[in-house]
Amino acid sequence: PDALSVTDLRKRYGANEALKGVDLRVGEGELVGLLGPNGAGKSTLVKIACGLVGPSSGTAEVAGAKAGSAAANAALGYLAELFRFPDWLSADELLQLHQKLVGSRGGAAERRELLELVALGDVPDRRVGHMSKGMQQRLGIAQAMLGDPKLLLLDEPTSALDPAGRRTVRELLETLRGRGVAVLLNSHLLSEVELVCDRVIMIARGEVVAAGTPAELSHAG
Ligand code: ADP
Ligand code: ADP
């Protein structure tokens, strides 16, 4: 099944229609950018995908399961923009903490594999306070990957990074794709999205107003 499948999705808050019939799909291993100004409905879409709010009508499925169901949530990973981990935790401890919080049974093997995946395999004992922004971002992605999700929801994952850090994150997302992990990347900047994504979906005032490759959209203005 698709990592995310949304059909004729509508969400009303009182008289305010935040989503007005949105259709979108994120296929297995696809990197899709969700772009739109403040108030477009991006957060509402993410909240529905996570089951925090229900749609007024239409459907949303994550990895073939109804959004909000235990199966759908097990298939999701999430990382906020500008998150901040405690300085005093090592990379390995940070993952261990989150394993405990989510009840993961992956143990040391899962942590080692994820740290290697994000190119922190050589520094499992490095404390967050001694990591560059790029290393912290990669650690955040490793944390979001705990439990082997099919769809990662990433909020502006390169906004705090310099160009080299952005390239590294892009390479990491390419690696995830090789494992069949799809990414829906939330942003309000085409420049962030175009570096990383195969496809961009632009929403404004609750509707999809354009969709295509980054090149197609930047030429369209
Ligand atoms: P974005 O994330 O793109 O900035 P949102 O999904 O937060 O957009 O908001 C879409 C629209 O829905 C906005 O007009 C916003 O004010 C409204 N909205 C969002 N959440 C609520 C809510 N809980 N109650 C009422 N209106 C809301
Ligand atoms: P819902 O039960 O529809 O999910 P929420 O719990 O998200 O509603 O929000 C409760 C109330 O808080 C909303 O009815 C609205 O009055 C207010 N609210 C929350 N977020 C927003 C927002 N972004 N814009 C406007 N109003 C909001």
Q: What's the ipTM?
A: 0.70
Is 39 near ligand 2, meaning CB less than 6 Å away? no
Q: 51 CA distance to ligand 2 centroid (A)?
A: 15
Whether residue 53 has its Cβ less than 6 Å from ligand 2 = yes
Task: Give yes or no for a contact between 140 and 86, defined as CB atoms under 8 angstroms apart.
Answer: no
* Alpha carbons 72 and 51: distance in angstroms, whole number: 9
Q: Which residue's CA lies nearest to atom 15 of ligand 1?
A: 39
Closest residue by Cα to residue 73 from 63, 81, 83: 63
d(CA 192, CA 171): 14
* pLDDT tens, per residue, the chain with 221 residues: 999 999 999 999 999 999 999 999 999 999 999 999 999 999 999 999 999 999 999 999 999 999 999 999 999 999 999 899 999 999 999 999 999 998 888 999 999 999 999 999 999 999 999 999 999 999 999 999 999 999 999 999 988 898 888 889 999 999 999 999 999 999 888 887 888 899 999 999 999 999 999 888 877 65
pLDDT confidence of residue 220:
61
pLDDT of residue 183: 96
Note the pTM of the prediction, 2 decimals. Answer: 0.87
Structure tokens at 61: 């499925």
